[in-house]
Amino acid sequence: MSLKPLLGNWYYPSILLFSIGISSVGSWVYFIALNLIVLNITGSAMAVSGLYIIRALSTVFTNFWSGSLIDRLNKKYLMIVLNAFQALLIACLFFSSSLGFIYCMVFMITMASSMYQPTSMTYITKLIPTERRKRFNSLRSLLDSGAFLTGPAIAGLMFTVGTPSMAIYLNALALALSALITLGMPNVEASAQLVGQSNRQSSLKLLKDDWKLVIGFSCKYSYIMIIYFLFSVMIVLMTATDSLEAAFATQELSLSEGEYGVLVSIAGAGIFIGSLANTIIVEKVPTSWLIGLGSMITSVGYVIFASSNTFLIASVGCFVLAFATAFANTGFYTFYQNNIPVDVMGRIGSLYGLVEAILIIMTTAIFGVFSELVSIRFIVVSGSLIMLLVATILFIYNIQPSKTKFYSTSP
């Protein structure tokens, strides 16, 4: 293959990946800096926990209706507006020291972020041809893992030479740059699709019709949505288990804060190495095996971590679970893009994201309560074993010979 056609095929995807990379690094800087700012203002760990609650509530509120809007608007321009809106709100945080104002800003920033995810997924699906989606998703996973490593490092450097507020401002600039880059991307839709065909309907009826559409699609294509739901349950269990990770490491394994920091670094290395390996072999591994086996190995890593009694075994578990996540995510994103119609992708992604967010809130709360009533180890082990069971069911569904058409890369 000559170099010129290859560069031509990957010109816009490369720009898009660059934009995603900038945004991902900025998000990590913002995430860490905001926690420190709230802690400095209040001196309360509970106030920092409030940020997580606000973000979760914002996601639930937004996903209830945003899909109806996303599918009816031009994706490119919506991405630009959402990035610019986030940049403006984050810049406002730079000048605030009121906890109430920060919470309000975080609520609106998370609203925009929650809308951006399904919007960008739809845009990517329209921009990237079917046969190149696995490669693109593997590279995106590599960028995300790089952001996981470089974001906190940049934040730490910013805190050394400046303040957390400066780091917040840096993220606003990153989002503004991402919006400018997106401005140069092609328009994958013929025109700005406004809610013209439905302007005579009430918003409530429109939402009701869209919910019926998603339910109808789910019933008609039950296999696709079973895979979607099982993978979402995996994410829910991973999030709930991760919420107890620090307490488990320090209380059950008796690790010092420094040792726990090393454990997190090992997980970061696992994510990066796994993402790198993923980009090398992704074209040789069927999408079904990426999802199924990737999820299985991830859950095995959690079981190893939950069953550990020493730093060494815990490190192995963290590395394994982080290593395999890249494969599972790449497989799932490719499956999702190839099987969900782009004209309803926003509504399906938002409504199922709503269910996932509610389950995360409920499961995390249940894990937290029972860790106090029973023990942290019992809950972490139980969560990991349930995760392994779900991953096994997902793997069985993935590798059924009769379902290979859902994993085909043919356009």
Question: Would you place residue 298 in the very low, low, confident or very high pLDDT band (cuts 50, 70, 90)?
Answer: very high
Give domain 204-401's CATH superfamily: MFS general substrate transporter like domains (1.20.1250.20)
User: Distances in Å between the alpha carbon of 344 and those of 78, 138, 284, 327?
Assistant: 16, 24, 30, 26
pLDDT score of 45: 60
More confident residue, 259 or 378: 378
Summarize the confidence of residues 15-39 as an average pLDDT: 76
The reply to whether domains 7-187 and 204-401 share a CATH topology is yes
| 38 touches 102 (CB < 8 A) | yes
**Amino acid (one-letter) located at 19:** S
pLDDT score of 38: 80
Summarize the confidence of residues 64-73 as an average pLDDT: 84
* Residues whose CB is less than 8 angstroms from the CB of residue 117 and which lie 6 or more positions away in sequence, other chains included: 349, 353
pLDDT score of 49: 67
Q: Quick one: what percent of the chain has pLDDT higher than 90?
A: 22
Give the residue carrying structure tokens 């690790």: 255
pLDDT score of 61: 87
Among 159, 41, 20, 155, which residue's Cα sits nearest to residue 93?
Answer: 41
Say if residue 190's pLDDT is above 60. yes
Q: Cβ of 81: how many Cβ atoms within 10 Å?
A: 18
Summarize pLDDT for 378-398 with one digit per residue, the tens: 999 999 999 999 999 999 999
Average pLDDT value over all residues in the chain: 83
Summarize pLDDT for 327-370 with one digit per residue, the tens: 999 999 999 989 998 888 888 888 888 888 889 888 888 888 88
Q: How far apart are CA 148 and CA 135, in angstroms?
A: 20
CATH of domain 7-187: 1.20.1250.20
Give the range with max mean pLDDT: 97-101, 176-180, 289-293. 289-293
Q: How far apart are CA 387 and CA 355, in angstroms?
A: 18
Say if residue 194's pLDDT is above 50. no
Among 410, 390, 271, which residue's Cα sits nearest to residue 327?
Answer: 271
Summarize pLDDT for 134-165 with one digit per residue, the tens: 888 888 877 776 666 666 666 666 666 666 77
38, two tokens: 């709230």
One-character DSSP codes across 217-286? HHHHTHHHHHHHHHHHHHHHHHHHHHTTHHHIIIIIS---HHHHHHHHHHHHHHHHHHHHHHHHHGGGS-
More confident residue, 57 or 300: 300
**What are the extents of the domains in the chain?**
7-187, 204-401
Say if residue 35's pLDDT is above 60. yes
pLDDT score of 335: 92
Say if residue 175's pLDDT is above 90. no
Summarize the confidence of residues 273-278 as an average pLDDT: 89
| 291 touches 337 (CB < 8 A) | no
Summarize pLDDT for 209-257 with one digit per residue, the tens: 888 888 999 999 999 999 999 999 999 999 888 878 878 888 888 887 6
Summarize pLDDT for 84-139 with one digit per residue, the tens: 998 898 888 877 778 888 889 889 988 888 888 888 888 888 888 888 888 888 88
The three-class DSSP label of residue 128 is coil
The b/e string for 88-127 (b: 16+ C-beta within 10 A; e otherwise) is ebbbbbbebeebeebbebbbbbbbbbbbbbbbbbbbbbbb
| 19 touches 143 (CB < 8 A) | no
The three-class DSSP label of residue 189 is coil
Q: How far is CA 60 from the centre of its chain?
A: 15
| 333 touches 227 (CB < 8 A) | no
pLDDT score of 197: 47
Q: How far apart are CA 109 and CA 233, in angstroms?
A: 25
The answer, as to whether pTM is greater than 0.75, is yes
pLDDT score of 130: 83
Q: How far apart are CA 155 and CA 255, in angstroms?
A: 24
Among 119, 117, 19, which residue's Cα sits nearest to residue 74?
Answer: 119
Burial class (CB in 10 A: 0-12, 13-18, 19+), 43: exposed
pLDDT score of 2: 44
Say if residue 198's pLDDT is above 50. no
Among 231, 28, 16, which residue's Cα sits nearest to residue 136?
Answer: 16
